[in-house]
Amino acid sequence: MNNSIAQSVVQTLEKVLSKEKDSIALHEPVFNGNEWQYLKDCLDSGWVSTAGKYVDVFESKLAEFTGAKYTIAVINGTAALQLCLKLVGVGADDEVLMPALTFVATANAVTYCGAIPHFVDSEESTLGICPEKLEDYLCETVEIKHNECFNKKTGRRIKAIVPMHTFGHPADLDPLSQICKRFFITMVEDATESMGSYYKGVHTGNWGKASALSFNGNKVMTTGGGGAILTNNEYIAKKARHLSTTARLSHKWEYDHDCVGYNYRLPNINASLGCAQLEQLPEFLNKKRTLVDRYRDVFEDVDGVSVFTEPDFARSNYWLNVLLLNEENIVLRDEILEQTNRQGIMTRPVWKLMHRLSMYKNCPRMELHVAENLEKRLINIPSSVVLNGHN
């Protein structure tokens, strides 16, 4: 690839993307359903805050859609993940395995629990944690004592692992589950990017003992800001609901709380938006598949770059589409980012890897060759539902 090929990437993107707008966002929401009606109903009823019928409806519709037995709607994906970790027993000075290739919230949620992120490598076929490398690494790094996993170097307990479904693409959950069993590690899925993504026919978020969803404005569907905890464990569900409502004990008028809780429940007004968005999600997901099909079509003719495609076992929501540069073309990543953004087509590289961030640079980690390689080669391209690929 050379500069002219960088140019051809831009031209190929332009083929797909409407030029009616001055700038094309990476991911913007669509509100063509019952959003109006439900918001108005909130105002008319006076219920806009952390109690109200839309919170209940949203939770039950989410459970239905994802197949998870229990869902608890909260203020955002980070809060959801923090509570998930706390609820599976992650505490001060525990280590939590997670990909180095993730958004910073995954590591922050661990830090809020007083625990330490421990970074592991990814695999190119899923963009998620590589089960094979992980297993080899754990064999060398940990010892099992009384059915708990300890890092031999640091002496700290490794309590949990957080597979993150990168850009909506499911990590390879079956082998990861096997590893969890073998090494006595609890799985919490960071499914904040994978609402509408399935692994072997089952919605993501059903493998973790508890899992986190996000409905931020840039996600497949949005509540403004919001998230949810998914779990199939009744005790965790009850406790999640309790912790997210300041741990207040039920009473007609008394304000008693039995532990340190959080003010994390999703307001009714945001839940009402979520109800309307969830109704449209199947249509959103279809449109997003049309878009990636179109991207694949047009990039077939461009040498040195490929469009990331879900593995056979997955059905991805294709939240953010991914271009991968071939090894020999790594040097042009920044040029492509420059040219596309200059022309109003928003693109971006993957997040700075976690072990390069100043506050996480001293955390334990395995060697991270694949993540570091992907970081150099990966570009996210516009992926909104409105870009149906045939403008």
Residues that bind its own copies (CB under 8 A): 28-31, 35-36, 39-40, 43-44, 46-51, 75-79, 103-105, 108, 111-112, 216-218, 222, 224-225, 246-248, 252-263, 265-270, 273, 337, 341, 347-349, 351-352, 357-359
**Smallest separation (angstroms) from its own copies to the CB of 173:** 25
Distance CA 81, CA 79 (A): 5
Judged on CB neighbours under 10 Å (0-12, 13-18, 19+), 12 is: buried
| 50 torsion bin: left (phi>0), alpha (psi -120 to 50), beta (else) | alpha
The half-sphere exposure of 309 on its side-chain side, counting CA atoms within 13 A, is 12
DSSP, residue by residue, 307-345: E----TTEE----SEEEEE-GGGGGGHHHHHHHHHHTTB
Residue 32 vs 178, nearer CB to its own copies? 32
Backbone angles phi, psi at 122, to 5 degrees: -110, 170
DSSP, residue by residue, 178-205: HHHHHHT-EEEEE-TT-TT-EETTEETT
Alpha-carbon distance values, 375 to 101, 254, 380 (Å): 8, 53, 11
Q: Please, what sign has the CA dihedral across residues 300, 294, 27, 169? A: negative
Q: Find the angle CA(329)-CA(335)-CA(341) to the nearest 5 degrees.
A: 130
Residue 29 vs 170, nearer CB to its own copies? 29
Give residues with Cβ within 8 angstroms of 221, minimum separation 6.
29, 195, 196, 215, 274, 277, 278, 280, 281, 284
**Smallest separation (angstroms) from its own copies to the CB of 183:** 27
Residue 134 vs 229, nearer CB to its own copies? 229
**Smallest separation (angstroms) from its own copies to the CB of 267:** 4
Instruction: Give the H or E element holding residue 82.
Output: helix 77-87
Residue 70 vs 351, nearer CB to its own copies? 351
